[in-house]
């Protein structure tokens, strides 16, 4: 799992991680169809020859990209867990999330492509992870697990949907309004 971008002389050698990173960017920018070997090779200034040395096929590249995405979620969660107060933690989460249209774009691409069971499974796992993180915060504040779960599904759903509307240009309402409403829905004090 330890792969490095290695640079020798003025010739740079690519790692599988470089390919995965570029693939994730392509996914966010152009959708699953844009995760195509030759265009990404051009973007990386190399050729297919490099790719098929590092990966078995295109599917493996997609999976590597999504693994990267999954790790990003873990990083964000780890960072937010530094915030002791659960209410402030959730508020920071919302602000954080709404400020990251790239992650939202990836989510939409995957939701759209959820007819592919492999894609759906990863998207489901990441969603589940995020929901669990939010639910834990509510439980910390004394909300019973079942109620917390139901509230968190709508809370995270609100984020997804409102981010989608902003992506479409169908909503330019200020973020504070949105955050206040979601916090209220989660039965948390406003920031």
Distance CA 81, CA 31 (A): 31
Nearer to DNA among residue 50 and residue 158 (C-beta): 50
Angle made by CA atoms 61, 129, 125, in degrees to the nearest 5: 45
- Report the candidate in 4, 22, 27, 26 with the shortest Cα–Cα distance to residue 122: 27
Binding mask 30-69 for its own copies (x = CB under 8 A): xx-x------------------------------------
Residue 164 binds which entry of its own copies, DNA, none, CB below 5-8 Å type-dependent: its own copies
Paired tokens of 37? 């070997």
- 178 near its own copies (CB under 8 A): yes
**Please, where are the H alpha helices in 83-190?**
86-98, 101-112, 117-140, 145-168, 175-185
Q: What is the DSSP letter of 127?
A: H
Distance CA 96, CA 93 (A): 5
Stretches 46-54, 125-133, 154-162, 167-175: which one binds DNA (CB under 7 A)? 46-54
- 13 near its own copies (CB under 8 A): no
Residue 175 binds which entry of DNA, its own copies, none, CB below 5-8 Å type-dependent: none
- Of residues 42, 85, 173, 190, which one binds its own copies by CB under 8 A? 173
Q: Which residues bind its own copies (CB under 8 A)?
A: 29-31, 33, 108-115, 120, 123-124, 127-128, 131, 149-151, 153-154, 156-165, 167-171, 173, 177-178, 181-182, 184-185
């Amino acid at each position: 799992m330890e792969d490095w971008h290695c640079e020798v002389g003025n010739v740079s050698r690519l790692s599988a991680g470089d390919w995965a990173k570029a693939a994730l960017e392509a996914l966010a920018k152009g959708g699953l169809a844009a995760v195509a070997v030759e265009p990404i090779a051009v973007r990386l200034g190399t050729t297919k020859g490099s790719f098929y040395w590092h990966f078995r096929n295109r599917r493996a590249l997609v999976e590597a990209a999504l693994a990267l995405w999954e790790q990003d979620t873990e990083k964000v969660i780890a960072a937010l867990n530094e915030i002791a107060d659960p209410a402030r933690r959730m508020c920071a989460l919302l602000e954080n999330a709404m400020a990251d249209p790239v992650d939202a774009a990836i989510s939409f691409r995957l939701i759209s492509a959820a007819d592919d069971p492999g894609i759906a499974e990863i998207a489901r796992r990441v969603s589940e992870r995020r929901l669990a993180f939010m639910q834990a915060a509510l439980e910390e504040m004394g909300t019973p697990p079942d109620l917390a779960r139901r509230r968190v599904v709508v809370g995270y759903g609100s984020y997804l949907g409102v981010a989608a509307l902003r992506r479409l240009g169908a909503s330019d309402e200020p973020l504070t309004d949105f955050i206040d409403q979601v916090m209220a829905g989660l039965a948390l004090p406003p920031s």
